[in-house]
Amino acid sequence: MSGVLHAGTTGWWIAYGAYLLLLAATAAERFVELGVSVRNARWAFAQGGRETGRGHFPPMVALHTALIAACGLEPLLTGRAFVAALAVPALVVALASQGLRWWCIRTLGRRWNTRIVVVPGLPLVRRGPYRLLPHPNYVAVVLEGVALPLVGSAWLTATAFTLLNAVLLLGFRIPAEERALAAAPVEDPAR
The pTM (predicted TM-score) of the whole model is 0.91
pLDDT exceeds cutoff 50 at 118: yes
Structure confidence by residue, pLDDT tens digits, 68-101: 999 999 999 999 999 999 999 999 999 999 999 9
d(CA 146, CA 166): 12
Residue 187: what pLDDT?
A: 62
Q: Pairing relation of β-strands 82-83 and 4-5?
A: antiparallel
Contact (CB, 8 A) for 169 and 60: no
Q: Quick one: average pLDDT of 134-138?
A: 95
Per-residue model confidence (pLDDT) at position 109? 97
How distant, in Å, are the alpha carbons of 42, 112, 114 from that of 134? 25, 14, 16
Who has greater pLDDT, 186 or 6? 6
Output phi, psi for 52, to 5 deg. Answer: -135, 170
**pLDDT-derived band at 126, boundaries 50, 70, 90:** very high
Q: 126 burial class (0-12, 13-18, 19+ CB within 10 angstroms)?
A: exposed
- Give 29's pLDDT tier (boundaries 50, 70, 90): very high
The span from the CA of 45 to the CA of 48, in Å, is: 5
